[in-house]
Amino acid sequence: MGDPLLSAEDGVPAAEVPAALSDSTTPEPWKILVVDDDDEVHALTRLVLRHVRFRERPLQLIEADSAAAARECLRQHPDAALALVDVVMETPQAGLELVRHIREELGNHAIRLILRTGQPGQAPEQDVVMAYEIDDYRAKTEFSAQRMVTGVIASLRAFAYIAEVERLNGELEHRVAMRTAELERLAMLDPLTGAGNRRHLDDRAAREIDDQQRSAQPIGVVLIDLDHFKQVNDRWGHPAGDQVLQQVVRIAKAELRTSDFLARIGGEEFVILLPGESVRTAADVAERVRRAIENHPIDVSGLSIPVTASFGVTTMGVDNLLESALERADRALYAAKHGGRNRVVVAADP
């Protein structure tokens, strides 16, 4: 070989390279990509690094004889920690183009890169170091066994640090995303009852209307108002009233499908959206909820508080406006209240 990898005075026999005794279970190795079109370079690299370990992990050499072959190796081993890359291979710039491919096209900024060249004048060191994101650039005549081991260990230490930072950043981003999602979820809920709030109702109605326009399926709308709720607060106190609201929501949800949606839009006023349900079916659902509420007196600190509710039922109209549907349901609810309460009234066709 014209430009030996190991200089005679600096070469270190492999037996003298520090090594840890192998454990009974072999830990995952550090993957090192060796890219060179010279078989002797591969052989000497294997010789020098065959017993080297870093942080009790051995090295796994992945060999490629061209930049094109190295690209396929990187596709199969995206977790490679280090690449030792010859500059001049199938083309005079093959190694430099490979570096640019790794950093810019693959977007891999974790893998450490050491360039080796047998023709240092082909690509001046200062130009290469300034223009490319690499860790070291050496003429092969300079790259002794000691320097190879030192360079590899330093690169693996840097890779491990970057990998740990990326892991911690990933964990932080995940926690932030989870917290953001939780805050967004809470912002859509009524804090007292856990039912949807008005913002959530508007958002859900918009999505259901979009689905309705594609499927031509109706959307049932039920407006609920608890009867004489002010008397509950006046007689048993607001904490008891809060418990009544919470338990009414639990009772109502037990009568609904998972696809149905319940929201609290006022003090004791609720709305149910029933995707795919006609006004007749919506009225049946309302009647089922009404009976469930009537038949489940609310227990508050040993006191049994009777509760009933009135219902106004309609479906989303041709205008696809939630407000129009709520206005019709409200008129039906008014009729239910004035008809004696604790009943279901269906609005006129939209």
Catalytic residue list:
268
Please state whether beta strands 112-117 and 261-264 pair in parallel, antiparallel, or not at all (unpaired): unpaired
From the list 163, 159, 283, the residue with the least C-alpha distance to 220 is 283
Looking from the CA of 204 toward its CB, the CA atoms found within 13 Å total 22
Contacts of 139 (CB under 8 A, 6+ apart): 3, 116, 117, 118, 120
Q: 58 and 31 in contact (C-beta within 8 Å)? A: no
Beta strands in the chain (DSSP E): 30-35, 53-54, 57-64, 82-86, 112-117, 136-139, 219-226, 261-264, 269-275, 298-300, 303-305, 309-315, 344-346
Helix (H) or strand (E) holding 214: helix 198-215
| DSSP secondary structure string for all residues of 42-95 | HHHHHHHHTT-EETTEEEEEEEESSHHHHHHHHHH-TT--EEEEESSSSSTTHH
CA distance 323 to 325: 5
Contacts of 247 (CB under 8 A, 6+ apart): 296, 298
The C-alpha angle 20, 21, 26, rounded to 5 degrees, equals 100
